[in-house]
A and B are shown apart, each in its own frame.
Chain A
Amino acid sequence: GQQVMQIPQYQHVQEGEDFTTYCNSSTTLSNIQWYKQRPGGHPVFLIQLVKSGEVKKQKRLTFQFGEAKKNSSLHITATQTTDVGTYFCAGRGTSYDKVIFGPGTSLSVIP
């Protein structure tokens, strides 16, 4: 079955440093979504990527979808303490398929 993997599992950065998390799927995806979960909270949708090679930006966050639609990345420029949390990628095999989550990357920001 479809599996979604993420690295690294944990990342500790000094405030102001950049951060990147990588997501890989065992199968080709129709789209990929990214979610953020703050400690004690529930996952909150950040963005969805659909097209091969797509790049989207949200302020300091840059999201990429690989050409083969099997991998994705999230890059945060100049991290802030408000970026603390776990970032999950989530993919679906077809547009009508279920959403499968990766294990997440937990980001800690040292002020």
Chain B
Amino acid sequence: DTGVSQDPRHKITKRGQNVTFRCDPISEHNRLYWYRQTLGQGPEFLTYFQNEAQLEKSRLLSDRFSAERPKGSFSTLEIQRTEQGDSAMYLCASSVLGGSEKLFFGSGTQLSVL
């Protein structure tokens, strides 16, 4: 069991730049979630997939954010024209629909926008 893998672990970027993060879920997991977490807060839901289908995207999420899971395996989260308010830990989690459905989290990507 290799767990959920996220890359990169840290990303520092300048305001206005685009960034992309990758998540590799546990291989047999059909659900994949993206959350954002800032210091002292709980994970904030961004979007989730069942296989390759994106089921929902948070209504609070700017159009600058987009996510894909093209083959139902790994997923990417892209932020265009980054802003300082985008600085946060971006967490990916995966689960098996129909099982205990517990979420397995990756270690996250820490984004700092300067």
Decide if B91 touches A42 in the complex (CB within 8 Å). yes
Q: How far is the CA of A95 from the CA of B41 in the complex (A)?
A: 25
Decide if A88 touches B55 in the complex (CB within 8 Å). no
- Contacts A42-B91, A43-B105 given; indicate if A99 touches B100 (C-beta within 8 A): no
CB closest chain-A residue, reference B104: A45
| Residues of A with C-beta under 8 A to B100 | 48
Decide if A99 touches B42 in the complex (CB within 8 Å). no
Decide if A42 touches B108 in the complex (CB within 8 Å). yes
B102 contacts the other chain (CB 8 A): yes
Q: How far is the CA of A1 from the CA of B103 in the complex (A)?
A: 21
CB closest chain-A residue, reference B106: A42
A44 contacts the other chain (CB 8 A): yes
B65 contacts the other chain (CB 8 A): no
Decide if B43 touches A43 in the complex (CB within 8 Å). yes
B48 contacts the other chain (CB 8 A): yes
B33 contacts the other chain (CB 8 A): yes
| Residues of A with C-beta under 8 A to B102 | 33, 45, 48
Decide if B101 touches A98 in the complex (CB within 8 Å). no
Decide if A88 touches B42 in the complex (CB within 8 Å). yes
Q: Mark A21-43, 1 if CB is under 8 A from B, else 0.
A: 00000000001010100000111
Decide if A101 touches B42 in the complex (CB within 8 Å). yes
B112 contacts the other chain (CB 8 A): no
Decide if A43 touches B45 in the complex (CB within 8 Å). no
B107 contacts the other chain (CB 8 A): yes
Instruction: Point out residues on A near B: beta carbons under 8 Å.
Output: 1, 6, 31, 33, 35, 41-45, 48, 88, 90, 95-96, 98-104, 106
